[in-house]
Amino acid sequence: MIGQAAFGQEPLWFTGFVQGPLWYVAATVFVAGVLWRIIGLLALGRAADKSVPRESGLIGGVKAIVLHSVPHGGFFANTAFHVVAGYMFHLGLFALLLFAAPHVTFLKDHVLGFGWTPMPDWAFILAAQISFAGLILLWVRRLTDPVVRRLVDADDYVASGLTFFVMLTGCFALQQASAVLAGIHMLMVDVWLIYFPFSRLMHAVTFVFSRYYTGAFYGRRGVTP
């Protein structure tokens, strides 16, 4: 039976491979790659600031992280579309990642050793719809905004496409009716994890460093960026 995929027979070798050896390879590349990027970023250092600080750079850095996570100042009218669509996508994805029942089970069995109460199916569907809508709106903006269209490149589209298919295959595999669907979803997750450290998906980690650096730089001068 194992290895036979025709006429309803589940390819157990495939699901075993993507949830076993390939998962461990992907997780290793992901963790090592992220650490390598962070260490490289920190190793760049910065020139010594010889100016007399007017205020705390630490407070300025923390303030920048918080302030730039919410609309502020007079820019919301120009950035409302991006802000709303971005939060729809990221918050929906966060909910799916941590609270979808299959994910809770997987994290318990393969990563953390413990779990928590997952969201019901209706909440999964709602979060998925919100996240898909946000991602599609961001795609539309990239394609239609003349300024943004000049800033994006192939990496942006590949990263968004991989994320889209991870989410889509996850929706197909939700009911766990087929090991094939679950295996395809896991394969997309493995590919996404391997691609993550070498792409703009790293912004999920590096945005904290960039915002803190900018906030600390201006914070020492008594300016809120």
Token readout for 57 is: 């750079």
Residue 127 CA to residue 131 CA, distance in Å, equals 6
For 187-192, the CB contacts below 8 A with 24+ separation are 187/18, 187/22, 188/162, 189/26, 190/18, 190/22, 190/23, 190/25, 190/26, 191/26, 191/162, 192/162, 192/163, 192/166
Residue 163 has pLDDT above 90, yes or no: yes
Q: Is the pTM of this model over 0.85?
A: no
User: What pLDDT, on a 0 to 100 scale, did the predictor assign at position 1?
Assistant: 32
With contact defined as beta carbons under 8 Å apart, do 1 and 9 qualify? yes
- Residues 25-57: b if buried by 16+ CB within 10 A, e if exposed: ebbebbeebbeebbeeeeeeeeeeeeeeeeeeb
Residue 2 has pLDDT above 60, yes or no: no
Residue 26 CA to residue 23 CA, distance in Å, equals 5
Q: For the chain, what percentages of helix, strand and coil (3-state, to nearest 5) are there? A: 75, 0, 25
User: What pLDDT, on a 0 to 100 scale, did the predictor assign at position 3?
Assistant: 38
User: What pLDDT, on a 0 to 100 scale, did the predictor assign at position 48?
Assistant: 72
Tokens 């709303």 found at: 84
Residue 219 has pLDDT above 80, yes or no: no
Q: Which CATH number fits domain 12-44+57-219: 2.70.160.11, 3.30.70.20, 2.40.50.140, 1.20.950.20?
A: 1.20.950.20
**E strand or H helix at 17:** helix 12-19
- Tell me the per-residue pLDDT of 107-161, one tens digit each, with 9 for 90 and over: 888 778 888 999 998 898 899 999 999 999 999 888 888 888 888 888 889 999 9
- Tell me the per-residue pLDDT of 17-75, one tens digit each, with 9 for 90 and over: 888 889 899 999 999 999 999 998 888 777 777 777 777 777 777 887 777 777 766 66
User: What pLDDT, on a 0 to 100 scale, did the predictor assign at position 128?
Assistant: 92
Domain boundaries, given as residue ranges, for the chain: 12-44+57-219
Closest CA to 15 of 165, 189, 181: 181
> Average pLDDT, stretch 179-187?
86
Whole-number average pLDDT of the chain = 83
